[in-house]
Structures are given as structure tokens and as C-alpha cells.
């Protein structure tokens, strides 16, 4: 399985509402519940109405389109990183999974996944 590195800095935010979010940005992941409006975006795209933000994230994605019948893809990645003390923030889309780690753990996470048998592609 291939892991695609992404050379961007990301932020995880809470926003008052989505009115100032650039939904046309290259990466924009939103999640809405009764309690919060969440946003994951490139750090340069954080809107001014962010009420909380956590900067310093880097991301990689599972390369290709994943069929819904596949089991354990994200679990395998997360387990390998958890066993090595690296926490993650995971996002699933219709086609694939994205995994964010803190910037200071990013290269180590990729190295761990490569040792675990994943192919890291740029």
C-alpha cells in the first residue's frame, strides 16, 4: 500500500460558522455537530472567525481510491504509529483516508510506516 506525502502545513480549528471558510481551497475538511463546527485546512487558509486552532500538523494520505469493503486500512496505520507513541488526527473522505501528525513527528511516522511495509511516495 502506498502512502503519499503532502508538503503542506495544516491547522485543526473550531470556527464560529462556515461563512468565512474558503470551500474552494485545495484542502478543506469540515465537520459539523450540535456542539461544534470543525475545520481542517492548510494553515494559510485558517479563516478569521476561528475560535480555536491547533497549528503545526503535517499530513499524508493513503494513495488511490479505497473500496468500502476494505477492512483495517486506517487501523493498520494508526496501530503502527500508536505503538511508537505517535498520535494522529485521521480524516476519511469518500475515496481515501488522510492522517495528520504533529510536524515534529512527521518524518518519524513516515519512517515507521516504511519499516512496517508501506511504500512512501512523494
What is the rounded average pLDDT for all residues in the chain? 92
pLDDT of the residue at 72: 55
Distance CA 7, CA 69 (A): 30
pLDDT of the residue at 30: 97
Domains belonging to the chain, first-starting first, are 2-121 (3.30.2130.10)
Residue with cell 501528525: 101
Over residues 25-48, the mean pLDDT reads 97
Residue 67 has pLDDT above 60, yes or no: no
| Three-class secondary structure of residue 105 per DSSP | helix
Amino acid at each position: 500500500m502506498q502512502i503519499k506525502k503532502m508538503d503542506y502545513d495544516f491547522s485543526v480549528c473550531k470556527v464560529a460558522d462556515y461563512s468565512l471558510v474558503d470551500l474552494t481551497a485545495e484542502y478543506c475538511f469540515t465537520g459539523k455537530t450540535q456542539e461544534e463546527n470543525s475545520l481542517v485546512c492548510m494553515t494559510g487558509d485558517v479563516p478569521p472567525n476561528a475560535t480555536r486552532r491547533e497549528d503545526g500538523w503535517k499530513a499524508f494520505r493513503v494513495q488511490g481510491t479505497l473500496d468500502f469493503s476494505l477492512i483495517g486500512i486506517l487501523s493498520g496505520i494508526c496501530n503502527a504509529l500508536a505503538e511508537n507513541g505517535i498520535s494522529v488526527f485521521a480524516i476519511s473522505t469518500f475515496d481515501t483516508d488522510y492522517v495528520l501528525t504533529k510536524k515534529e513527528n512527521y518524518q518519524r511516522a513516515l519512517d515507521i510506516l516504511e519499516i512496517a511495509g508501506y511504500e512512501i511516495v512523494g
